[in-house]
Structure 1
């Protein structure tokens, strides 16, 4: 296996393991895959849209999301990985309408940890009509 392929597969494994922990409700497990200075970028048009810095702000986001999204319904349809970058095509049910919200999460991995997570919504459904919380 080449070094690039190895990095690609390691990056994919980190993201898939993080989602597995999230689906099991394992907050500590999720945090173990994040760098201490992780950055999560949610688009500003979302009710929880802003840039979150560090694990503490990530935990704040994690406390807000269940008001909008059924976090027990996360489905990772597939991942695409290249070196230190992974894109996950994800679906999750919105709480207000019970409809599928679809998005891509782009992850950057460094030293075995997620350092950035940028979210791109395809269909934000009823979420864009919800009041902002941040």
Structure 2
């Protein structure tokens, strides 16, 4: 990124690079874009719904998600960025149906690191019918 790149575009690049690392299965790469105290907020109606704090809990979420979603192939349809906020319209395949589950991930980026990720599901598919994860 050059100094001429706006903060908005720098933050968009952070989120897009994090997704690129995730799609390569590069956990270290993903972690390099997260702050140590990152918070991920999944809706409570989901079987894995709760707030996850820090990289250890983020890793725990990443280990539970494959029971429900095929996280090996994340489709980012588009991103929208404004200052420290970046939203990504995302699709991930629901394991039970093979259909894409659509949602928006809203990121807050500070000092080049993702500090918060809040998810908003449009179509939760079969996820809402699954029992709560331990």
> 1:11-52 CA deviation, whole Å, 9 max, x = no partner?
000000000000000000000000000000000000000000
Counterpart for residue 65 of structure 1: 65
1:73 deviation in Å? Answer: 2.1
Which secondary structure does the structure 1 equivalent of 2:66 belong to? helix
Which secondary structure does the structure 1 equivalent of 2:47 belong to? coil
Q: Give me the whole-angstrom Cα distance separating, in 2, the residues matched to 1:15 and 1:100.
A: 21
Counterpart for residue 93 of structure 1: 93
Q: Give me the whole-angstrom Cα distance separating, in 1, the residues matched to 2:30 and 2:124.
A: 24
Counterpart for residue 36 of structure 1: 36
Counterpart for residue 15 of structure 2: 15
TM-score, normalised via structure 2 length:
0.96
Length, aligned pairs only: 132
Asked if residue 115 in structure 1 is aligned to residue 118 in structure 2, the reply is no
> 1:81-129 CA deviation, whole Å, 9 max, x = no partner?
0011000000010001111100000000011100000000000000100
1:72 deviation in Å? Answer: 1.5
Q: Which is richer in helix?
A: 1
Which secondary structure does the structure 1 equivalent of 2:95 belong to? coil
Q: Give me the whole-angstrom Cα distance separating, in 1, the residues matched to 2:46 and 2:122.
A: 12
TM-score, normalised via structure 1 length:
0.96
Any stretches of 5+ residues in structure 1 without a counterpart?
A: none
Q: Which is richer in strand?
A: 2
Q: Give me the whole-angstrom Cα distance separating, in 1, the residues matched to 2:74 and 2:111.
A: 26
